[in-house]
Structure 1
Amino acid sequence: MNRRQTTLAALLASSLALTACGGGDPLEDGAPATGGGEGEALIIGSANFPENVLLAEIYAAALGDAGVEVTTRLNIGNREAYMAGLEDGSIQLIPEYTGNLTLYLDETAEATESDAVYAELQEALPDNLTVLDMAEAQDKDAVVVTADTAEEFDLVSISDLQPHAPNMVLGGPAEWRDRFTGVPGLLEVYGLEFSSFKPLDAGSTLTVEALKNGQIDAGNIFTTDPAIAQNDFVVLEDPESLFAAQNVVPLIATDALTSQIEEALNVVSAGLTTENLTEMMVQVQDTDPAQVAREFVDGL
Structure 2
Amino acid sequence: MRRSTFLSAATGLVVSALSLTACGGSDSSSNPLAGDSASAGSGGTVVVGSANFPESSLLGEIYAQALEAKGIKVTRKFDIGAREVYYDQVVKGGIDVIPEYNGALLAVAVDKNSTATNTTEVNAALKAKLPSSVEILDSAAAEDKDSITVTAATAAKYNLTSLADLKPVASKLTVGGGSEFKTRTQGLVGLKNIYGVEFGKFQPLDAGAQSTLVDLLKKDKVQAANLYTTDPSIVADKLVVLKDPKFLFAAQNVTPLVYKSAVNDTAKAALNAISAKLTTEDLLEMMKKLVNDKEDSSEVATAWLKSAGLVS
With the length of structure 2 as denominator, give the TM-score of the two structures: 0.66
State the distance in 1 between where 2:305 and 2:152 align.
36
Q: 1:270-289, aligned counterparts within 5 Å? A: 270-274=276-280, 276-284=282-290, 285-286=292-293, 287-289=295-297
Change (3 A) 1:276 1:265: same
**How far apart are residue 288 of structure 1 and its match?**
1.3
Unaligned runs of 5+ in 2: 6-14, 32-45
**How far apart are residue 25 of structure 1 and its match?**
7.1
State the distance in 2 between where 1:52 and 1:110 align.
23
Change (3 A) 1:133 1:219: same
What secondary structure, in the 3-state scheme, does the structure 1 residue paired with 2:18 have? helix
Q: Is the 8 A contact 1:155 1:161 kept in 2?
A: no
Change (3 A) 1:30 1:61: farther
* Aligned counterpart for 1:294 among listed residues 290, 295, 302: 302
Letter in 1 for 2:64: A
Cα displacement string for residues 32-68 of structure 1 (whole angstroms, at most 9, x for unaligned residues): 53425442472511353x4333212101222344333
Cα displacement string for residues 88-122 of structure 1 (whole angstroms, at most 9, x for unaligned residues): 5675532123344444444443452x444432332
State the distance in 1 between where 2:301 and 2:66 align.
9
Letter in 2 for 1:146: T
State the distance in 1 between where 2:188 and 2:133 align.
31
Aligned to 2:151: 146
**How far apart are residue 228 of structure 1 and its match?**
2.5
**How far apart are residue 163 of structure 1 and its match?**
7.3
State the distance in 2 between where 1:60 and 1:118 align.
23
Aligned to 2:47: 42
Greater Cα offset, 280-289 or 156-165: 156-165
Asked whether 1:82 is paired with 2:83, we answer yes
Q: Is the 8 A contact 1:225 1:278 kept in 2?
A: yes
Q: Is the 8 A contact 1:94 1:252 kept in 2?
A: yes
What secondary structure, in the 3-state scheme, does the structure 2 residue paired with 1:142 have? strand
Change (3 A) 1:91 1:294: same
State the distance in 2 between where 1:190 and 1:197 align.
21
Aligned to 1:31: 22
Aligned to 1:109: 115
Cα displacement string for residues 152-194 of structure 1 (whole angstroms, at most 9, x for unaligned residues): 666554352687479735225x886786534554455346576
**How far apart are residue 75 of structure 1 and its match?**
7.9
Aligned to 1:268: 274
Aligned to 2:42: none
State the distance in 1 between where 2:83 and 2:62 align.
18
Unaligned runs of 5+ in 1: 1-6, 15-23
Change (3 A) 1:270 1:190: closer
What secondary structure, in the 3-state scheme, does the structure 2 residue paired with 1:243 have? coil
Q: Is the 8 A contact 1:35 1:42 kept in 2?
A: yes
Q: 1:61-80, aligned counterparts within 5 Å? A: 61-65=65-69, 66-74=71-79, 76=81
RMSD of Structure 2 on Structure 1 (CA): 4.0
Aligned to 2:140: 135
Aligned to 1:233: 239
Aligned to 2:8: none
**How far apart are residue 290 of structure 1 and its match?**
1.4
State the distance in 1 between where 2:27 and 2:16 align.
21
**How far apart are residue 143 of structure 1 and its match?**
0.7
**How far apart are residue 242 of structure 1 and its match?**
1.2
Cα displacement string for residues 241-283 of structure 1 (whole angstroms, at most 9, x for unaligned residues): 2134443210134465444542432233234345544443443
Asked whether 1:94 is paired with 2:98, we answer yes
Cα displacement string for residues 118-145 of structure 1 (whole angstroms, at most 9, x for unaligned residues): 3233224233432112234445532102
State the distance in 1 between where 2:236 and 2:213 align.
14
